[in-house]
């Protein structure tokens, strides 16, 4: 009995000491993040994707307003069908910030009486992913962030992106999210 009690006390002491040896929590500098990359999408991927979208839109000149003004843009429905069930607003917020910082648009949440956006353009899209097991046993995650920009005056789609996925390869045992 005494031996069992000593074993339990020793186990508790060792568990307490082991818990104290864990790495301390540290704050991450978001501008210079050197933390390990995971298989799921993180803010670095979202920022990179937003930058690519802005570069494509700028290169096409779709949002170059005559006379140097800014267009009014509405953010429509962005569906999300991913393993990690991320909130699509993480992605759309990054896109909105990039477009507004570039002086291309102002964002409107106003709607007409029939429910259509009171804007020049509407951004809609879809976020989805797929996980593929490779021949060498690794897993490849492909994250697709597809966007469509529609000119609400004409109904024409004037911009589309998302053919190139954000791709990550890692251990088959790595968590998808």
Q: Which of 72, 61, 66 is nearest to 158 (CA)?
A: 61
* Domain boundaries of the chain, sorted by first residue: 37-170
pLDDT at 21: 61
> What pLDDT is stored for residue 17 in this prediction?
53
Residues with Cβ within 8 Å of residue 68, at least 6 apart in sequence: none
Beta strands in the chain, from DSSP E residues, in sequence order: 71-81, 105-107, 121-133, 139-151, 157-161, 166-170
Domain 37-170 in CATH 3.40.80.10: no
**What's the whole-model pTM score?**
0.73
Instruction: Give me the mean pLDDT over the 116-142 stretch.
Output: 89
Q: Which residues of 44-72 are buried (b: 16+ CB within 10 A; e: fewer)?
A: ebbeebbebbbeebeeeeebeeeeeeebb
Give tens-digit pLDDT for 61-113.
999 998 888 999 998 888 888 877 777 787 788 888 888 888 889 998 888 88
Tens of pLDDT, residue by residue over 3-57, are 656 565 555 555 555 555 667 887 778 778 878 777 878 888 888 888 888 888 8
């Amino acid at each position: 009995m005494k031996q069992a009690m000593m074993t339990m006390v020793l186990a508790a002491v060792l568990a307490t000491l082991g818990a104290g040896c864990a790495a301390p929590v540290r704050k991450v500098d978001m501008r210079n993040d050197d933390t390990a990359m995971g298989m799921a999408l993180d803010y670095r991927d979202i920022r990179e994707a937003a930058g690519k979208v802005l570069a494509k839109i700028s290169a096409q000149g779709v949002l170059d307003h005559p006379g140097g003004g800014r267009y009014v843009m509405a953010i429509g429905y962005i569906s999300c069908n991913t393993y990690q069930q991320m909130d699509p607003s993480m992605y759309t917020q990054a896109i909105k910030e990039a477009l507004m910082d570039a002086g291309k648009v102002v964002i409107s949440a106003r709607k007409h009486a029939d429910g259509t956006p009171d804007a020049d353009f509407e951004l809609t899209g879809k976020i989805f992913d797929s996980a593929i097991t490779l021949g060498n046993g690794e897993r490849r995650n492909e994250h697709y962030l597809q966007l469509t920009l529609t000119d609400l005056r004409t109904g024409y789609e004037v911009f589309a992106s998302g053919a190139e996925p954000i791709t990550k390869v890692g251990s088959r045992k790595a968590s998808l999210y």
